[in-house]
Amino acid sequence: MKETIEIKYITDDMYYTNKQISNSHIVYSNISNTAVQDTAKLHSLKFCVSGIEIYRINGYEKILKPGEFILVNPEQNFEIIADKKNTEGICLFFENTFEHNISDTVFENKKYNISENKLLMDNIIYIKDNVVRNRLEKTTINFNSFLELLTDDNKVLKHSLTGLEMKNSNLSSDLAYRLMKVKEFIDNNYYENLEIDQLADLCFTSKFHFLRMYKKMFRISPYSYILELKLNESRKLLKDHNTIEVAQKLNFTDRSAFSNRFKRRYKENPREYRNKMK
């Protein structure tokens, strides 16, 4: 389904904030020596046509050369810097449409080369050669085709939050993505002695905010989640290891702490469980 898309043109003297972009737009920029800070309102694709564009997103810097693009999620804080004259860029802003709901999509903020996706490259070239060159104010194209190309490409799509193991989706896409990354880190490292301060740093938020948002999203505290993973794993380890060895492997403070937690959870102590498994 084709829709009418507005095109905005910006220079060093004019910048449209993301708050001014309330629906699907194409923005063409030709700027130099400019640094602008903003907060994303919609999902967007930012493509470098010429020169060098520098994006800092949530503290991470991405340097785009011609032919490269990044994807930005709603509510992400970013800074754009043009460090050469005649730096050209094309930005596509995506709103939710009847055909394609993108509200629960979370993109990785990596940079990608447009040549890796021929269909996407053809669409960008069309915009550059036909829309921008002719300085059109509006164009009628199938904007959903961009979304389909992006969300079908595993190289650029990280997660669709729909269906993931979370209990509350009333969070910003950026925060939900960071919390999912922390949960993924816990899943891969729960053998270690994980500290909440360390996990909060991974989420780029304060300890208090992290604890509150993690429980809001998963309906379990990070403390309880880590303990649950350790106790589940301990039942597997007890088949081949004694209580002291299991406590050491899973970084419990001592055998007594492990045994107390195990008995509280499974209504029997580790020795009783191990004897049953023999």
**CATH topology assigned to domain 225-277:** Arc Repressor Mutant, subunit A (1.10.10)
DSSP-derived secondary structure letter, 49: E
- In the prediction, which pLDDT does 208 show? 86
Residue 249 confidence (pLDDT)? 93
pLDDT at 110: 82
What SS3 state is found at 59? Answer: coil
Instruction: Specify the residue for token string 């580790």.
Output: 270
pLDDT at residue 252, rounded to an integer: 92
All structural domains of the chain with their residue ranges: 3-160, 173-220, 225-277
| Predicted local distance difference test score (pLDDT) of residue 184 | 84
pLDDT at 163: 37
Q: What is the pLDDT along the chain (278 residues), one digit of tens a residue?
A: 567 888 888 876 666 666 667 677 888 888 877 777 888 888 889 999 988 888 888 667 888 999 999 988 887 888 888 766 678 899 988 876 655 667 657 777 788 888 877 878 888 888 888 888 888 888 887 777 777 777 666 566 554 443 334 444 456 666 777 888 888 889 889 898 899 999 998 888 888 888 888 888 887 888 988 998 999 899 999 988 999 999 999 999 888 999 999 998 888 999 988 888 76
Closest CA to 86 of 11, 15, 32, 10: 32
> What was the pLDDT predicted at 47?
92
Phi, psi of 214 (to 5 degrees): -65, -45
pLDDT of 183: 87
d(CA 199, CA 188): 13
Give the pairing type, strands 53-57 and 77-82: antiparallel
pLDDT of 233 reads 92
> What local confidence, expressed as pLDDT, does residue 248 receive?
93
Regarding pTM above 0.85, the answer is no
Measure the CA–CA gap between 52 and 66, rounded to whole angstroms: 7
Q: Compute the distance between CA of residue 87 and CA of residue 223 in angstroms, rounded to an integer.
A: 48
User: Tell me, what amino acid is at 148?
Assistant: E
Record the tokens describing residue 166, joined without a space: 């979370």
pLDDT in tens, 94-114: 876 655 667 657 777 788 888
Q: What is the pLDDT of residue 178?
A: 82
In order, the DSSP letters of 222-260 are HHHHHHHHHHHHHHHHTTTS-HHHHHHHTT-SSHHHHHH
Which residues have a Cβ under 8 Å from the Cβ of 217 and sit 6 or more positions away? 166, 167, 168, 171, 176, 179
pLDDT tens-digit series, residues 192-219: 889 999 999 888 888 888 888 888 888 7
pLDDT for position 153: 66
CATH 3.30.70.380 fits 3-160, yes or no: no
- CB-CB contact of 41 with 18 (8 Å): yes
